[in-house]
């Protein structure tokens, strides 16, 4: 579906930008528009009621179901996965957490405390995440 089918069933529809609208939410007694609608480049439609109505409530009130938010696609059609690189701040935040885990277990080892199997597994997970962060930072 394009957003047109949904928009045709709503009241007080107003365009707020390219492929974006606001309208009265049919899921509750809406006096002023509180339902945001956005159509993505691939034809999917996103909805958000700022009063808190669920998407199922909104669609049910206008006689549509969740399938109406997604365009029909041929079975052999595959969308390329969208790749969004992580920014340096996100990578460093991840590394900070994983380094803290490793340092806590290392301190336990230095002080002679026994390290549990769960802690050993968590250190291995941390090592994997640190390695993955390095690859992401390289752009791989």
pLDDT in the model for residue 55? 87
Residue carrying the six token digits 């549990």: 116
pTM above 0.85, yes or no: no
pLDDT in the model for residue 78? 62
Give the other-Cβ count within 10 Å of 14's Cβ: 9
Cβ atoms of residues 105 and 119 within 8 Å: yes
Measured CA to CA, the distance from residue 86 to residue 139 in angstroms comes to 9
Residue ranges per structural domain of the chain: 3-69, 88-138
pLDDT in the model for residue 102? 93
Q: Consecutive 10-residue runs of the chain (140 residues): their mean pLDDT?
A: 81 90 90 90 87 88 85 61 68 88 93 92 90 74
């Amino acid at each position: 579906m394009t957003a047109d089918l949904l928009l045709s069933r709503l009241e007080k529809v107003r365009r707020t930008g390219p492929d974006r609208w606001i309208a009265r939410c049919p899921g509750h007694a809406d006096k002023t528009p509180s339902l945001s609608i956005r159509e993505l480049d691939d034809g999917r439609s996103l909805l958000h009621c700022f009063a808190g109505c669920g998407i199922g409530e909104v669609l049910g009130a206008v006689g549509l179901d969740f399938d109406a938010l997604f365009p029909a696609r041929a079975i052999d059609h595959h969308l390329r996965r969208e790749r969004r690189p992580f920014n340096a701040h996100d990578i460093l935040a991840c590394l900070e957490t994983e380094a803290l885990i490793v340092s806590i277990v290392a301190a336990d080892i230095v002080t002679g405390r026994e390290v549990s199997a769960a802690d050993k597994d968590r250190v291995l997970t941390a090592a994997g995440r640190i390695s993955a962060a390095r690859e992401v930072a390289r752009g791989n």
